[in-house]
Structure 1
Amino acid sequence: MIPVRYVVLLALAWVGMSGSYTLPNLILGIAIGWGVLFLVRDQLRAAKVTVRPWAALLLALLFIKELVLSAMRVARLVLSPRMDIKPGIFAYPLQVERDFEITLLANLITLTPGTLSVDVSEDRRTLFVHGMDCSDPERAKEEIRIGFERRIMEAFR
């Protein structure tokens, strides 16, 4: 059975992302939320993911903050007269272990301007990340570790 609270959360996310706060759009969001949860119901049961709502909200707020800051950083780099950047790929040692957490971290990194998740090692202990400016890869690793990865571990344990 699909929990109603998850369908409602996905429907509200749909309404918020689409920007249309109408009853037909809410009904469409409910249908989409139910359909998505129906398709992944076996994986959800197998993963037994415990969601801490407050921590998940903090993760979402962190993502929004990082999205804005990264967009401004990339805009500043692109608009500067001298493009003094050093693009590159660095290996990020993962602390998260479950496929769901690794996928979420990789997607959050990819959705943040200036970074892109490239690959995960066979043993799922290393995430390879391309950075638009890798002049300080250790700082980038630290930002991921104390930012997204920490919040993911808090939200989904």
Structure 2
Amino acid sequence: MAKQFLMNLLLAFIWVALTGALYYSNFLFGFGVGFFLMWVMNRGGTDDRYFTRVPKVIGFFLYFVYEMVKANIQVAYDVITPKYFMKPGIVKYPMNAKTDFEINMLSTVISLTPGTLIIDVSEDRKVLYIHVMYLRDKEQFIRQIKDGFERRLLEVIR
């Protein structure tokens, strides 16, 4: 998989060199063209993990950016208005993540989102304790994390 990623980067740099325009958008377009060409050439191949994982990584990144922007707007609105809309609470979140790396990545992604902070991980490493700034419904929050961050992150990692 690392060889395919490096080949894709090489194709993107070749695209940038051939077009003569060193812009992020041109590099990303070249990366997409290279990904498509490699996918077409590898359709009958046995190792297609790269071609399933890259769209999942992009989807996770876009979902994370969306959630971060949404949380930032919510916090900024609360800061600039005279009335506070906070309803803080602590949630006991049961995880599907098993390894130390998966737990660390999940807790980092949750903590990077404004309005949430990881307090602790249980001794048996099955539960995260999360402080939430805007907690309306605990079950909905747990479902949102489980179906959003955790599911997408574990699809990328595993």
TM-score by length of 2: 0.65
* Structure 2 counterparts to residues 66-77 of structure 1, below 5 A: 66-77=67-78
> Does 2:57 correspond to 1:56?
yes
The answer for the alignment partner of 2:29 in structure 1 is: none
- The amino acid that maps onto 2:150 is E
Q: How does 1:6-155 map to 2 (within 5 A)?
A: 52-155=53-156
SS of the aligned residue for 1:140 comes to: helix
Is the partner of 2:83 in helix, strand or coil? Answer: coil
**Which has the bigger relative contact order, CA under 8 A and spacing at least 6?**
1
Specify every segment of 5 or more residues in structure 2 that has no aligned partner in the other structure, as ranges: 10-21, 23-48
1:85/1:135 contact within 8 Å kept: no
Q: Secondary structure at the match of 1:72?
A: helix
SS of alignment partner, residue 75 of structure 1: helix
| Whole-angstrom distance in 2 between the partners of 1:85 and 1:115 | 12
Instruction: Tell me, in whole angstroms, the C-alpha distance in 2 between the residues paired with 1:84 and 1:114.
Output: 12
**Whole-angstrom CA distance in 1 between matches of 2:78 and 2:103:** 29
Paired residue secondary structure (1:135): coil
Q: CA RMSD in A?
A: 2.4
Structure 1, unmatched stretches of 5+, are 10-20, 22-49
What CA distance in whole angstroms lies between the structure 1 residues aligned with 2:155 and 2:85? 36
With structure 1 as the length reference, what TM-score do the two structures score? 0.66
Alignment partner of 1:62: what SS?
A: helix
Residue 150 of structure 1: how far off its partner (Å): 0.7
- Higher alpha-carbon Rg: 2
Distance in 2 of aligned mates of 1:143 and 1:120: 19
Give the length in aligned residue pairs.
Answer: 117
